[in-house]
A and B are shown apart, each in its own frame.
Chain A
Amino acid sequence: MAVLLKNISVPLASFTLRVDVEIRGRLTAIFGPSGAGKTTLLDLVAGLRPADFAFVQIDDRVLTDTSRGVFLPPRQRGIGYVPQDLALFPHLTVRQNLLYGQKPREGANSSLKFDRVVEVLEIPSLVQRRVTDLSGGEKQRVAIARALLSSPRLLLLDEPLASLDVPLRARIIPYLARIRDEFGVPMLYVTHDRFEALALADEMVVLVNGTVAQAGPVNELFNRPANSAVAGVLAVETVLKGLVEKVENGLVTVRVGPVTLAAVDQDFSSEQREVYACIRAENVVILKGAAIANSARNHLPGVVRMLGNDGPLMRVELDCGVPLTALLTRRSCEEMKLAPGDRVTAQVKAQHVHLIGRLPNEIS
């Protein structure tokens, strides 16, 4: 699956949305702060918004090409759309909502049978209910099921979890992962929550002020933000893929490449063996010379690779077997006489290692 978005230019109130990107992920997060143009982009792909300049192609099907006057109406696009307000039809029952778009399409995804979709999203008991009687999480799942049952070639999800409280979000995320894995419908997932992006997405497109600031595999983006705008939006400097080795006394041991990290158990179920360990640069302390005994759980010997200015601070890139970024004051750097090639020890408290459960991803 490839979604090609080229030469897109849509004037919005305070900026112009400009997008030129090719998306190949099974689940791609469109990430950006509120008002970055994310919903506009989805509307454009779905054909709900005209554009002066746009080229939208899914696989070999051109949906919009303003230069040749091609504009496929939304109903012919085969795109399932779950908008932020869900747009369930209030005058219809859950069943009528679900069946609204169902049709056997040519070459349609045969795994998208009514019973199966309803089962995977655990909504069989809701089918006879009225939409207005559902809870937030139930509405969410019904809206997703309705979009899936139209046998879409691409599923657009606009901040599907934004309206839910945190515990409910954690319960919905596995459903999204199941859809991704079981039905094989590629998804574009708009979010401004980096944990959602890390938990679900393979690829990510970062939108800042209507422009694609960076696009690529999720962990690459978090580790190597292309510029300070992306780093600022993502707000995490180090994201490491790791495996949970053990959970003991509230302390989680995670193996990241050659390094073992200790983290405080943040209540994720132990079956999520694959995790992302996130460390913010301001939480990394650098010691030069002999290590002194202290309370930090993680001591990582490494080499300084690079020093760079970051506003009033210095950004120090380390190689501790895994890449690690630290943010120090200029004064500290001068006092320690830090220079590339120096051997140092990085320290991180266990509670500053934030773990994000990576949902099983057997296909990729």
Chain B
Amino acid sequence: MSAEEWQIIWFTAWVAGLSTIIILPFGLAAAWVLARHDWPGKTLFETVITLPLVMPPVATGLLLLTCFGNNGIGGMIHRYLGFRIIFTWRAVLLALAVMSFPLLVRSARTAFEGVNPRLEQIARTLGAGNIRVFFTISVPLAMRGIISGMLLAYARALGEFGATVMVAGNIAGKTTTISLAIFESVQNFQDKEAYRLLGVSVVLAFVAVWAGEWVVRRKKS
């Protein structure tokens, strides 16, 4: 494998991992709020969160491109913070995070709903505040669902194509992920490269799923 291919593999695994870690706190908060509370705009909130899952990824990408382009939030960030988002690795991160967020939330929400609310209530009578209850009761008891949610999110991020190509382009050495590279190789009739990267994707996915299963198993015993 060429140095360029190693760079692509490393970049993809790393940026997908970072995206999963970044969405984790927001995903858990959203999942918990959805599982435990009711409010008038709940359905709207749920729908907005689920949109990236049902919309064509390219459409989501276009939406992100519009929002984070130079005429949108991206321009403001550039002016005040001095860096660009669109067509940089940050855009890859943004696309992966947005696309995998609903998967984490759905899985974690189901897990939180499976936690007996009585346990959380009794923890409160024992003097625990909301934050302590969340971290010592809700999260540990929902851990298996949270882990499988993270896994799904990570796997989704590894394979993301449509949104990434819209907001980050396919800039060699900067924003090319495995999926983009496979597509490009096939386009250029470089079948060998494409199949090598295909093999790498299979291995990465396998390792991620296997590691997740292993953690869940350990949790259970």
A interface residues, Cβ below 8 angstroms from B: 46-48, 73-75, 77, 79-81, 83, 85, 87, 89-91, 100-101, 103, 146-147, 150
Contact between B125 and A89 (Cβ–Cβ < 8 Å)?
no
Q: Taking A90-B141, A91-B140 as contacts, is the C-beta distance between A101 and B118 under 8 angstroms?
A: no
CA distance A150 to B137 in the complex (A): 17
Rounded to whole Å, the gap between the CB of B130 and the closest CB of chain A is 9
Q: Which residues of B contact A100 (CB under 8 A)?
A: 123, 126, 128, 136
CA distance A75 to B128 in the complex (A): 6
Contact between A83 and B124 (Cβ–Cβ < 8 Å)?
no
Total number of residue pairs linking A and B with CB closer than 8 Å: 54
- Top 10 A-B pairs ranked by shortest CB distance? A101-B126, A74-B124, A87-B122, A81-B125, A87-B118, A48-B121, A74-B125, A91-B140, A150-B126, A75-B127
Q: Taking A48-B124, A150-B127 as contacts, is the C-beta distance between A87 and B140 under 8 angstroms?
A: no
Rounded to whole Å, the gap between the CB of A158 and the closest CB of chain B is 11
CA distance A220 to B81 in the complex (A): 78
Q: Which residues of A contact B121 (CB under 8 A)?
A: 46, 48, 74, 87
Contact between A46 and B123 (Cβ–Cβ < 8 Å)?
no
Pairs across A and B, CB under 8 Å, 7 listed: A46-B125, A47-B125, A75-B126, A75-B129, A81-B122, A91-B140, A100-B126
Within B123-163, which residues are at the interface with A (CB < 8 Å)? 123-129, 136-137, 140-141
Category for how many chain B residues contact A:
10 to 19
Over the window 29-56 of chain B, the binary record of Cβ atoms lying under 8 Å from chain A Cβ atoms (1 yes, 0 no) is: 0000000000000000000000000000
Over the window 65-107 of chain B, the binary record of Cβ atoms lying under 8 Å from chain A Cβ atoms (1 yes, 0 no) is: 0000000000000000000000000000000000000000000
Rounded to whole Å, the gap between the CB of B38 and the closest CB of chain A is 13
Taking CB as reference atom, which chain B residue is nearest A96? B136
CA distance A150 to B122 in the complex (A): 11
Taking CB as reference atom, which chain A residue is nearest B143? A91
Taking CB as reference atom, which chain A residue is nearest B120? A87
Q: Which residues of B contact A80 (CB under 8 A)?
A: 125-126
